[in-house]
A = this chain, B = another copy of it.
Amino acid sequence: MRQSQLFTKTLREAPKDEVSLNAQLLIRAGFVDKLMAGVYTYLPLGLRVLKKIQNIIREEIDAVGGQEILMPALSPKENWEATGRWDGLDVLFKLEGAGDKEYALGASHEEVVKPLVQRFVKSYKDLPEAVYQIQHKFRNEPRAKSGLLRGREFNMKDLYSFHRDEADMNSYYEKVSAAYSKIFSRCGLDAKIVEATGGTFSKFSHEFQVFTEHGEDDVYVCGKCGKNQNKELVTDLKCPYCGAAREVKKAIEVGNIFKLKIKYSAPFAFKYCAEDNQEKDVFMGCFGLGPSRVMGAIVEVGHDANGMIWPESVAPFDIHLVSLAKSPVVAKRADEIYEKLIRSGKEVLYDDRADVSAGAKFADSDLIGVPYRYVVSAKTLEKDSVEVKRRGEEKTDLVKI
């Protein structure tokens, strides 16, 4: 894409009320725009990143048998009353519609997915099943000051699985846990598995946490046996597994996985006909992962004083081609290189702006953080290959021209 045509520009300053580092950088670089606290618009550069994260998630969840669906955000009050969350979930947004009908906006989707899957699952032959969606969720958060890390409207992948028994649920839980580790690793994040409360239905749930100073969570880390626990579980600084002293680290929760067991099936008669013709309870698992929060976490851990540094897998573009052309000959050469890179299958952001200084171009490029950069100037005119540089790293030959 030609930068001269990109509708956003970099900004010197983020809005004064934006205190989070991730949103400050993303706003200044033109990746997102803040509509109000906890509610952001994804601009062209930001939407490219978000889609790449979503596609990595999609590939790995498809690989563990997830079937993608898309549930509505609007859902009827009755579904939420049935589970006690109409009054019990304080972040639920509620509204009224035609004919005095009351709705909730999806904060999560157990209330919609359980009756949906129940309509199709009758027999042991229909199990296991796993369905997921990638969609915006709504939560009436009292404080929303962490940029993309805690939104009132935010992007979420939620996967729900359905099983014949606890053993099958447990084995799928391990599969999804491994898929999550792959997803975060592909997104360039070093996410650790952390034990957290399992609510009324399980001993533990597990969170995937990325350690960084701006995290909202406190994680107790055992350097000896490697087990991590969320503060909410902790009664003692000593590790309950090996007795070693633990360290407390700030972290961002990027995913969480739950064994719901029969919490949402037993009270609502979600049963299946087993091989022995007995009616049995369906076991459920539930697996959350927020693409927008992953995007915020990547920025929190991947930046320097000049701007963001995107991992190649989710960068808005592969290469930032920066033209410093002051003559038609050099400008023509830059155009040629742009076309060749595009033809070789690369995604290129081409800074072809005529009226911007070299200094301003480099500052913008550092802020936007496309991992590889190639500069075209009178000096590079004779070269027959494009050498691209990753910030702080060695030069790499990328493509012959």
Q: Residues of A at under 8 Å CB distance from B? A: 5-9, 33, 35-36, 39-44, 47, 50, 65, 67-76, 93-95, 97-98, 101, 105, 112, 116-117, 119-121, 125-126, 129, 131, 136, 138, 140-142, 152-153, 355
Contact = CB atoms under 8 A, between A and B. Distances in A.
Contacts of A142: 98
Contacts of A153: 72-74
A111 to B, nearest CB: 10
A170 B240 CA distance: 71
A70 B32 CA distance: 9
20 contacts: A7-B117, A7-B120, A7-B129, A8-B120, A35-B76, A36-B75, A36-B76, A39-B72, A41-B70, A42-B69, A43-B69, A47-B70, A73-B136, A73-B138, A74-B152, A93-B95, A97-B140, A98-B140, A98-B152, A136-B136
B98 A141 contact: yes
Contact of A44 (B6, B68, B141): B68
A64 B35 CA distance: 27
A32 B179 CA distance: 28
A59 B131 CA distance: 28
A367 to B, nearest CB: 16
B40 A68 contact: no
Contacts of A97: 93, 140, 152
A75 B94 CA distance: 15
A102 to B, nearest CB: 11
A145 B161 CA distance: 32
Contact of A70 (B8, B42, B95, B125): B42
B44 A67 contact: yes
In the A-B complex, the 9 residue pairs with the smallest Cβ-Cβ separation, listed nearest first, are A95-B95, A42-B70, A41-B71, A39-B72, A7-B129, A72-B153, A44-B67, A97-B140, A74-B153
Contacts of A7: 67, 117, 120-121, 126, 129, 131
A64 to B, nearest CB: 13
A39 B136 contact: no
A151 to B, nearest CB: 9
In the complex, which of the residues A97, A136, A140, A141 has the most CB atoms of chain B within 10 Å of its own CB atom?
Answer: A97
A392 to B, nearest CB: 31
A294 to B, nearest CB: 16
A94 B126 CA distance: 40
Nearest to A4: B125
A126 B97 CA distance: 41
Contacts of A72: 35, 39-41, 136, 153
Given A7-B120, A41-B112, A94-B95, A47 B33 contact: no
Nearest to A11: B119
Contacts of A121: 7
A112 B71 contact: no
A133 to B, nearest CB: 9
